[in-house]
Structure 1
């Protein structure tokens, strides 16, 4: 894939997962709801027509990691008001994913969520998928002090808060750019891409990077990928 040897999983003791478009497929109508609400918030906040608001939303997202961070930096946004609005969505399109739950449960070690969304949104997603019992904790945008991935400071806060040794951890993400810093810190990285032949609403740059040197593995089937990882039995303490 990249010409570099891919890191494996036999040493991994902490499994870190992004949330949206990673733990559930891109084509499920969930993040699209958030996307529309972000556009509407930007339009109302800056008094722009929807088309201009959408273009600005995506520009800020690309430059700052989240539209919210861009609005905070350039327009003095109240982040709490923004987050309450954009995450007020219908989570019912998500259904329990037994295969994913089984695959996550068999992973040896700790499992954590690292998301640019909120803890409340993450909890709602995990419960709808039926996989919430498998996760130790959620590190969201508030815990990150509103500084989103791919900022190195956010990963450092996450590692410190949960006493994680990055060289003994793996990161699963749907954006390749969010894997560059984890890989640099020593994590095994996995890029979760849209399922083949499924139409998805993404910006072209969001789908780039699967051949990057900081991407160790690529999959369009997270449950199947996890189930196929050859796991080394861990010694009991």
Structure 2
């Protein structure tokens, strides 16, 4: 094991564009459904709906948070609608599965999506039975990352010592609360939309491009 991670007992992973590569463009399908949802709620034409959607994402952490704040949208209805996508773009990832299985300690998923969708994606990747727990947007009372509420809930629910935990995440801004708690942070810089938005270099301990490759490297003991 890479000595920089030898202290880690708990490994926490974001889902979308982290446990599968951003290049699959799976989230594009969700994104399109979000734009259509914003169109229906606001009455805007597609171009303006897209602008509003992205503004909500940047300003509130998720499109949902903006819709709840400004349009009193029912979160379950929204999440069920936008996650009703096919998963044929996601392929089993044997390297990732082997790496997760070889990690010492526990693994968790911490996502701004919902648990039902997350379960479908994890099964499609071939890692559905790997994780010890999952915290989704429902559990976080619809306060998305990087709101500190979800991070505290995760730590308390699973008795995680932040000093012995790592968070792996493709949205750099979502690492800041984890770093503040004392976690080791890993940014997956793989081309996610707005992945570097509001990044704080002081909150990023390590930068990688692929989780499976990174796990293989650290498990072999390399610190390169």
The alignment's TM-score, normalised by the length of structure 1, stands at 0.88
1:62 is aligned to 58
Separation of aligned partners in 2, 1:211 and 1:88: 33
Separation of aligned partners in 2, 1:138 and 1:146: 15
Q: CA RMSD in A?
A: 1.7
User: Does the CA contact (< 8 Å) of 1:18 and 1:174 recur in 2?
Assistant: yes
C-alpha displacement of 1:8: 2.6
1:53 is aligned to 49
1:20 is aligned to 16
2:85 is aligned to 89
Number of equivalences: 219
**5+ unaligned residues in a row in structure 2: which ranges?**
none
C-alpha displacement of 1:154: 1.3
Q: Which range moves more in the overlay, 179-188 or 158-167?
A: 158-167
Separation of aligned partners in 2, 1:229 and 1:186: 20
Query: 1:57-86: CA deviations, max 9, x gaps?
Result: 000111111010111111111111101100
**5+ unaligned residues in a row in structure 1: which ranges?**
1-6, 195-199, 233-237
**Partner SS, residue 8 of structure 1:** helix
2:201 is aligned to 212
Separation of aligned partners in 2, 1:69 and 1:163: 27
1:222 is aligned to 211
Separation of aligned partners in 1, 2:200 and 2:97: 28
Structure 1 residues 174 and 78: alpha-carbon distance in aligned structure 2, compared to 1, 3 A threshold:
same
2:193 is aligned to 202
The alignment's TM-score, normalised by the length of structure 2, stands at 0.93
Runs of 4+ that moved beyond 4 A: 208-211
**Partner SS, residue 53 of structure 1:** helix
2:134 is aligned to 138
**Partner SS, residue 166 of structure 2:** strand
Q: Which has the larger helix fraction? A: 2
